[in-house]
A = this chain, B = another copy of it.
């Protein structure tokens, strides 16, 4: 019954990270107090300092986790292409409605697009701090590589010719997804899913040629 110390410690760590993930996304790093994070996690600041050494440590841990997250999803989507439009649509849904890592062992949470919020929050910190910047650069590198690889496989399987190098294409697709999500968040009606999917297809050279 009684879990080991190690299990309990791991759980506390996870709870703190998830709480921080939520709060940093919704309120921002500086506007979130260490105590608020601890409280949201059902722990106290003592535990937080023991695990992460401070608020900054929490941010670094999130950044490291950041590198791994959502990469699988974004390239998996391309994989089994039946109707490309549907798949690209799902990809877009994932970006817009995406939750961050807060959905731990215990299931659903974070219905809104908090993924994007955390993404931007972490990006800002990565850009402002050279140390963290390298981590951020790595993250996007991994994302691009993953998507680029998926594009190559996809092109081979269906014997299609990519309109540009796969690395360049990956950069553009991710760019459009992010930039569209950016606008969508402020004004969803102005960025319908069809517009995004349409743009992605055009980038892939799949548009219906003009009349």
Which one of A51-59, A78-86, A102-110, A191-199 is at the interface?
A: A191-199
Please state if A141 and B199 are interface contacts (CB–CB under 8 Å).
no
| A164, chain B: closest CB distance, angstroms | 6
The contact of A210 among B29, B140, B163, B190, by CB within 8 Å, is: B163
Instruction: Please state the number of chain copies in the assembly.
Output: 2
Q: Name the B residues within 8 Å of A175 (CB-CB).
A: 175-176, 178-180, 182-183, 191, 196, 199
Consensus secondary structure, chain A interface: helix
Within 8 A of B (CB), among A130-152: 133, 136-137, 139-141, 144
Q: Name the B residues within 8 Å of A203 (CB-CB).
A: 199, 202-203
Please state if B207 and A26 are interface contacts (CB–CB under 8 Å).
no
C-alpha gap A137/B172 in the complex (Å): 24
**Chain B, residue nearest A180 (CB):** B175
